[in-house]
């Protein structure tokens, strides 16, 4: 398995190098890599930063925590790397954080999509530009009750950091709003069948909504099984389900909480989407890519104003939204709190329609 791949350093040895760490051999990493390349090309086409080109050092962590640790060590010891964009998942971000926050040669790492609430506790060099699971889970619970009229819910959650975080946030919020969670079950990717779980739901009288707190792969299997056992709840899920709109199962009408959707209003986003489509056609574009695009531009601003010293970049980012103006990106406003979080960022509820995730009406 390819663990490390070097991105082309445009401009040679004079380039300012930013690490890009994610699962680029996995569909989840596609838009992250493409959007980063697009931002780099735009910035360099406009003259670069401080008169120097930006370049990416691209490293594939395979969405694996152990690989992420090795990747982080490789990036930290590289004197050319001034900052890191990544990692994509919560588990890899948590695993790599002690390396980026190490005493000897710390370097900023900004995640575009690691949503576990514990990310905020990992250290001063760890930032993220996306809402966390509590925001996603709470928003989905409120949508289920207020917009869908749901009173009975069930949760199937992938038994990992992401799944457990989404499950807890949704269940607590749905119950607090007066609903009932009639079943709350973990699953593993190696499970042979979801039929026992879903048949038990049918025996319990069914539910109005089924929250899938996991990945696209698990959701596809769950939906396929639902079709075979005469159970028809409305399906909800977090951003881990992104991509299900292109899957072979019938995902029409599935609601997904997203940090970003391409149809969001605003000239900045419209310009980005047009540029992305011109460069890549119908290749996937999701919150992972759009947030990565924003992070590249945010780091370019930080380097332009603070220089290439790692500590100076960290100090600059820590003041975005307080000491310096917030960053207005395609995914919305980025303003960091004292923990490197973006508490003002909300999520949008999308719905699958005709093979696309679009903003659900009523927001």
pLDDT tens across 62-115, in order?
999 999 999 999 999 999 999 999 999 999 999 999 999 998 899 999 999 999
For the chain, give the mean pLDDT. 93
Q: Mean pLDDT lowest for which of 183-197, 279-293, 321-335?
A: 183-197
Is the per-residue pLDDT at 143 higher than 50?
yes
- pLDDT at position 24 is 97
Supply 180's token pair.
């009932």
Task: Say if residue 353 is exposed, middle or buried (CB neighbours under 10 Å; 0-12, 13-18, 19+).
Answer: middle
* Between 298 and 28, residue with greater pLDDT: 298
Overall average pLDDT of the 355-362 stretch: 94
- Reported pTM: 0.89
Tell me how far apart the alpha carbons of residues 125 and 98 are, in angstroms, rounded to a whole number.
Answer: 9
Is the per-residue pLDDT at 162 higher than 90?
no
Edge-to-edge order in the sheet of strand 126-128: 54-60, 16-22, 81-85, 109-111, 126-128
Overall average pLDDT of the 290-303 stretch: 98
Is the per-residue pLDDT at 227 higher than 90?
no
Tell me how far apart the alpha carbons of residues 312 and 318 are, in angstroms, rounded to a whole number.
Answer: 10
Overall average pLDDT of the 166-171 stretch: 94
Determine what percent of the chain is predicted with pLDDT higher than 70: 96
Confidence of residue 2 (pLDDT cuts 50, 70, 90): very low
Q: What is the DSSP letter of 52?
A: B
Confidence of residue 171 (pLDDT cuts 50, 70, 90): very high
Identify the structural domains of the chain with CATH numbers, from first to last.
Answer: 12-131+264-345 (3.40.50.2300), 134-258 (3.40.50.2300)
Overall average pLDDT of the 196-219 stretch: 94
- pLDDT at position 191 is 86
Nearest Cα neighbor of 318 from 125, 144, 135 is 125
Is the per-residue pLDDT at 30 higher than 60?
yes
pLDDT tens across 274-284, in order?
999 999 999 99
Q: Give the 3-state secondary structure of residue 189.
A: coil
């Amino acid at each position: 398995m390819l663990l490390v791949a070097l991105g082309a350093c445009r401009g040679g040895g004079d380039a300012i190098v930013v690490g890009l760490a994610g699962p680029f051999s996995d569909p989840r990493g596609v838009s992250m890599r493409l959007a980063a390349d697009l931002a780099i090309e735009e910035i360099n086409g406009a003259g670069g930063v401080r008169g120097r080109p930006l370049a990416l050092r691209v490293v594939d962590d395979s969405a694996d925590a152990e690989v992420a640790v090795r990747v982080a060590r490789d990036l930290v010891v590289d004197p050319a790397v001034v900052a890191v964009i990544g990692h994509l998942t919560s588990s890899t971000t948590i695993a790599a954080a002690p390396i980026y926050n190490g005493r000897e040669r710390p370097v900023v790492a900004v995640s575009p999509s690691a949503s576990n609430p514990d990310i905020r506790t990992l250290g001063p060099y760890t930032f993220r530009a996306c809402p966390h699971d509590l925001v996603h889970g709470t928003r989905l619970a409120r949508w289920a009750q207020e917009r869908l009229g749901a009173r009975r819910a069930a949760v199937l959650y992938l038994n990992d950091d992401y799944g457990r975080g989404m499950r807890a946030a949704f269940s607590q919020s749905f119950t607090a709003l007066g609903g009932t969670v009639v079943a709350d079950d973990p699953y593993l990717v190696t499970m042979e069948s979801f039929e026992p779980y879903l048949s038990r739901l049918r025996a319990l009288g069914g539910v109005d909504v089924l929250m899938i707190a996991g990945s696209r792969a698990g959701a596809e299997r769950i939906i396929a099984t639902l079709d075979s056992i005469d159970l028809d709840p409305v399906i909800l899920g977090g951003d881990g389900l992104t991509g299900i709109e292109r899957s072979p199962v019938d995902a029409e009408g599935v609601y997904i909480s997203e940090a970003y959707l391409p149809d969001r209003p605003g000239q900045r986003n419209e310009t980005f989407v047009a540029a992305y489509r011109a460069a890549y056609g119908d290749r996937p574009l999701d919150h992972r890519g759009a947030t990565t695009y924003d992070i590249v531009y945010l780091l370019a601003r930080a380097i332009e104003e603070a220089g290439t010293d790692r500590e100076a970049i960290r100090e600059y980012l820590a003041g975005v939204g307080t000491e310096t103006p917030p960053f207005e990106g395609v995914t919305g406003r980025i303003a960091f709190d004292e923990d490197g979080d973006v508490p003002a960022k909300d999520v949008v509820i999308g719905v699958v329609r005709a093979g696309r995730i679009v903003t659900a009406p009523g927001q």
